[in-house]
Amino acid sequence: MGYNVVVAGATGNVGREMLNILAERGFPVDKIAALASRKSLGTEVSFGDKTLTTEDLDTFDFTGWDIALFAIGSDATKKYAPKAAATGCVVIDNSSLYRYDPKVPLVVPEVNPEAVLGYKAKNIIANPNCSTAQMVVALKPLHDRARIKRVVVSTYQSVSGSGKDAIDELWDQTKGMYVPGQEVAPSVYPKQIAFNVIPHIDVFLEDGSTKEEWKMVAETKKIIDPAIKVTATCVRVPVFVGHSESINIEFEDHLDEAEARDILREAPGIMVIDKREAGGYITPVECVGDYATFISRIRQDSTIDNGLNLWCVSDNLRKGAALNAVQIAETLGARVLKKG
Instruction: List active site positions.
Output: 130, 243
**Any bridge partners for residue 150, and if so which?**
229, 250
Residues contacting 172, CB < 8 A, separation 6+ = 182, 184
Contact 8, 127 (CB under 8 A): no
Helix (H) or strand (E) holding 68: strand 67-70
User: How far apart are alpha carbons 235 and 48 in whole angstroms?
Assistant: 35
DSSP state letter for 61:
-
Q: What angle do CA 268, 141, 310 make, to 5 degrees?
A: 95
Q: Please tell me the distance from the alpha carbon of residue 78 to that of residue 91, in angstroms, as a whole number.
A: 12
In whole angstroms, give the CA distance from residue 222 to residue 266.
Answer: 24
DSSP letters along 193-256, please? Answer: -TT--BS--SPBPTTS-BHHHHHHHHHHHHHT-TT-EEEEEEEE-S-SS-EEEEEEEEESS---
Check: CB of residue 236 under 8 Å from CB of residue 189: yes
Say how many Å lie between the first and final Cα of the chain, rounded. Answer: 5
The closest alpha carbon to 85, from 102, 103, 68, belongs to 68
Q: How far is residue 327's CA from residue 17's CA, in Å, rounded to a whole number?
A: 13
Amino acid 266 reads E
Tell me which residue of 323, 217, 237, 247 sits closest to 285, measured CA to CA: 237
Number of residues that make up the chain:
340
